[in-house]
Amino acid sequence: MVINQFLPVCKEDMASLGWEKLDFIIVSGDAYVDHPSFGHAVISRVLIDAGYKVGIIPQPDWKDVEAFKVLGRPKYGFIISPGNIDSMVNHYSVSKKMRKVDSFAPGGKMGLRPDRCTIVYANMIRQAYKKIKIIIGGIENSLRRFAHYDYWQDKVRRSILFDTEADILIYGMGEKQIIEIADYMKSGIDLAYIHHIPGTCYLTDSLENVMDYIELPSFEEVETDLKKHAEAFKIQYDEQDPIRGKTLVQKHKNQYLVQNPPIMPLTREEFDLVYAYSYQKNYHPMYEKLGGVPAIREVKHSIISERGCFGSCSFCALTFHQGRIVTSRSHESIVEEAKGITKMDDFKGYINDVGGPTANFRNVSCKKQLKVGTCKHRQCLYPEPCPHLEVDHTDLIELLRKVRNVDNVKKVFVRSGLRYDFIMADKNESFMEELCEYHVSGQLKVAPEHIDQAVLSYMQKPGGKIYKDFVKKFYDINKKIGKEQYIVPYLMSSHPGSTLASAINLAEYLRDINYTPEQVQDFYPTPGTLSTVMYHTGLNPLTMKSVYVPKSMKEKRMQRALLQYKNTRNYDLVYEALQTAGRTDLIGNDKKCLIKDRSERPKAPAHIYKRKTGAKNKTANSGNQDSDSTKRKSSSRNKKSRSRK
């Protein structure tokens, strides 16, 4: 079935297609954008292609049960896709303050989706239709499939399957799972008996029919025992592989959560097909008068070329969601999409990005992954590149050449994350040269995250020397080709393992290279990451050794301020941090000092003062506000590849 228009959002739309009843209804936490960077768009198109009638209820009024009835009762059930970004991250900064803009809502308006989106939607659907089947998926649910630490409540919550009472949970990228589920339901099999599909979770009263499984510490143990919490995550982490991964079970009181092993990634042919559907590549016209949907701007003229990541950064949920096996689209598929982009009315000649979670990963890290799976106790790049790692950018170079040679394309940028250690491991410098010559828009954004070796070890990121060598090579090549281009490093404060001394080391590095970051990301504990478990337990699950965790908001503000020590509004915090750490040698007039003594303290700009009833009211730490923690990689990881997710 081919539907070359937006899918139904109301009864009138259904009538125009000659549909009296839908097979599935997707309730989305995001506004309806029919673009493959949005999970609801992909899942709906996959189902349409398989012959199912699908409608979408985007951002319904969760306080009104009638909002969930606008398309009627579906034949098979509801699918909840909470959004490209976790609803709690979408709503709150790391300091737990409400954000002002929701880029995935019309006009960027905040408040059009509830906190804990999936739970609220599921409850409203149950009120609207008794005994209706509910399928949940997306990043929010994928990362909450087990008992997990919840930063916003500072407690361990049970699996989201219990809170939603959904019939089945799809984790990871869901195209294969949703079709298999739909086909079984069409054949008359109840969801209560669909317990074998990889990449899904379900609840059961008995393990009698569950074979070859590993039992995790129970919810009750994980909730109260930090060591058990770390042990449970370590098992989840080790078994996150579609080839060698085992079925995992976790008891919650008298029931069991069962996770089937991950599903195999899409083949190249399947991947190409998913991106060949008749997406409208824009937000629904009903949002035009509301100012459109801001999130489309980053992705409308961008191309997703791959999924998966073998980088395994501790603070990233990709390992737990998409997995470490990289799969990519064919050159032909990507070039065809590029040609389609050039025909858009608002195209100015620039492809904003060709990439994914990591732009320079196009293939599996080694061929044996496709036979025996990824290594359980070894990473591909950390602490150093594996001897079996296949480092080759030839395919990517060829792809980028083809895209930039498409008619009417002036420039092709690579703005997704680049693993500079993978680039440095390549003995052939051709990719670095082509990157600088053709694919950098004046600034290349990379993510060293930190410079302190102890902190980097907890992040599972390469050492500072590799980054320094990469920076030197970048500037040497640009000098050679006669271009003035710069590296913009993304940095993270307050990650587990980071002390005030660590933050000061990074501040001194920034002093030495004469760089002041405009934004610093404060570590944000979110479900499904190794770093979050460290934050909660104070243990590294991989070693079970203690980890220092900066938890107080005061210390977190100090660590963050140190990385922007030149900002006069951060003076008091930096001064206190240096005093606390015993580094008063960095206070004074010497060129090595970060700040001057109090007697010579620079005056803060007048605009940071607010007048209220005639008096001056200084805004504390106004230069140290929480930046949007999703800004760094959300354009590639969340907006593009993590939605089915």
| pLDDT of the residue at 319 | 85
Residue-wise DSSP of 204-228: ES--TT--SEEEPPPHHHHHH-HHH
In this structure, the answer to whether residues 320 and 428 fall within a common structural domain is yes
Do 424 and 535 fall within a single domain? no
**pLDDT given at position 600:** 80
Cβ atoms within 10 Å, residue 402: 15
Cα–Cα distance, 216 to 229 (Å, whole number): 9
The answer to whether residue 585 sits within a structural domain is no
Structure tokens at 337: 């999409």
Residues 428 and 468 in one domain: no
Lowest average pLDDT, out of 64-78, 325-339, 540-554, 599-613, goes to 599-613
pLDDT digit string, tens, across residues 349-372: 999 999 999 999 999 999 899 899
Q: Is 630 helix (H, G, I), strand (E, B) or coil?
A: coil
Rounded Cα gap, residues 522 and 557, in angstroms: 9
- The count of other CB atoms within 10 Å of the CB of residue 584 is 12
Instruction: Tell me whether residue 592 is in a domain.
Output: no
Q: Is the dihedral of CA 353, 487, 392, 406 positive or negative?
A: positive
**pLDDT higher than threshold 90 for residue 7:** yes
Find, among 317, 484, 454, 445, the residue nearest to 383 by Cα.
Answer: 454
Q: What is the mean pLDDT of residues 33-44?
A: 97
What pLDDT, on the 0 to 100 scale, is given for residue 612? 38
Taking the C-alpha atoms of residue 324 and residue 326, their distance in angstroms, rounded to an integer, is: 6
- Say if 33 falls within a structural domain: yes
Query: Within a domain: residue 390?
Result: yes
Domain span at residue 69 reads: 11-259
Proportion of the chain above pLDDT 70, given as a percent: 93
The stretch 141-146 carries a mean pLDDT of: 97
Q: Are residues 248 and 332 in the same domain?
A: no
Residue 625 has pLDDT above 70, yes or no: no
pLDDT confidence band for 605 (50 / 70 / 90) = low
Give the count of beta carbons closer than 10 Å to the beta carbon of residue 372.
Answer: 10
Which residue, 395, 394, 407, is CA-closest to 351? 407
pLDDT band at 566 (very low <50, low <70, confident <90, very high): very high
Instruction: Give me the residue label for tokens 């030495």.
Output: 512
Domain CATH code at residue 74: 3.40.50.280
* Token pair 């506004």: residue: 31
3-state secondary structure of 253: coil
* pLDDT mean over 552-566: 96
The single-letter DSSP state of residue 299 is: H
Among residues 49, 53, 113, the alpha carbon closest in space to that of 79 is found at: 53
Residue 3 lies in a domain: no
| pLDDT above 60: residue 572 | yes
Mean pLDDT of all residues belonging to the chain? 92
Same domain as 410, residue 541? no
Residue 455 belongs to some domain of the structure: yes
Q: Are residues 246 and 133 in the same domain?
A: yes
Q: What DSSP element (H or E) covers 252? A: strand 247-252
Bridge partners of residue 56, in order along the sequence: 26
Give the predicted TM-score (pTM) of the model.
0.91
Domain boundary at 424, 441, 458, which?
441
CATH number at 310 reads 3.30.750.210
Q: Please state whether the peptide bond connecting residue 541 to the residue before it is cis, i.e. omega within 30 degrees of 0.
A: no
Summarize pLDDT for 154-165 with one digit per residue, the tens.
999 999 999 999
Say whether both 507 and 519 belong to one domain.
Answer: yes
Tens digits of residue pLDDT in 632-645: 334 333 333 333 33
Per-residue model confidence (pLDDT) at position 632: 39
Q: What is the pLDDT of residues 213-252, one digit of tens each?
A: 999 999 999 999 999 999 999 999 999 999 999 999 999 9
For the chain, what is the domain count? 3
Among candidate residues 225, 259, 293, the one where a domain is terminated: 259
**Band of residue 390 on the pLDDT scale cut at 50, 70, 90:** very high
The pLDDT of residue 417 is: 86
With H, G, I as helix, E, B as strand and everything else as coil, classify residue 261: coil
Q: What is the pLDDT of residue 463?
A: 75
Whether 434 and 489 map to the same domain: the answer is: no
**Dist CA 155 CA 158 (whole Å):** 10
Residue type present at position 314:
S
**How many Å apart are CA 467 and CA 568, to the nearest integer?**
29
Per-residue model confidence (pLDDT) at position 606: 52
Residue 264 lies in a domain: no
Kindly tell me the burial class for residue 599, based on how many C-beta atoms sit within 10 Å of its own C-beta (0-12, 13-18, 19 or more): exposed
- Helical spans, DSSP H, in 526-630: 530-537, 553-562, 571-580
> How far apart, in whole angstroms, are the C-alpha atoms of residue 297 and residue 285?
15
- Is 440 within 8 Å of 400 (Cβ atoms)? no
Q: Once rounded to an integer, what is the mean pLDDT over residues 457-472?
A: 92
At 229, phi and psi to the nearest 5?
-60, -45
Among 33-42, 193-202, 636-645, the range scoring the smallest mean pLDDT is 636-645
What span, in angstroms and rounded, lies between the C-alpha atoms of 43 and 304?
Answer: 16
The predicted-structure confidence for 206-220, as pLDDT tens digits, reads as follows: 999 999 999 999 999
Residue ranges of E strands in 99-199: 134-136, 148-150, 155-157, 168-170
Q: Same domain, yes or no, for 305 and 352?
A: yes
Based on the fold, state whether residues 175 and 236 are members of the same structural domain.
Answer: yes
The pLDDT value recorded for residue 626 is 40
Q: Report if residue 603 sits inside a domain.
A: no
Question: Are 182 and 24 in contact, with CB atoms under 8 Å apart?
Answer: yes
Q: With 0-12 CB in 10 A as exposed, 13-18 as middle and 19+ as buried, what is 143?
A: buried
Tell me which of 417, 441, 465 is where a domain ends. Answer: 441
Which two three-digit tokens encode residue 513? 């290279």
Confidence of residue 617 (pLDDT cuts 50, 70, 90): very low
Instruction: Dig out the tokens for 567 from the structure.
Output: 């900002």
b/e for 227-244, b at 16 or more Cβ within 10 A? ebbbbbbbbbbbbbbbee
- The answer to whether the CB of 89 falls within 8 A of the CB of 629 is yes
pLDDT at 323 over 80: yes
Q: How far apart are CA 54 and CA 218, in angstroms?
A: 38
Q: Which two tokens stand for residue 598?
A: 């109090």
Same domain, residue pair 55 and 197:
yes
CATH number of the domain bearing residue 487: 3.30.750.200
Same domain, 417 and 489: no
Q: Rounded CA gap, 532 and 599, in Å?
A: 41
Residue-level pLDDT at 283: 98
The span from the CA of 132 to the CA of 125, in Å, is 8
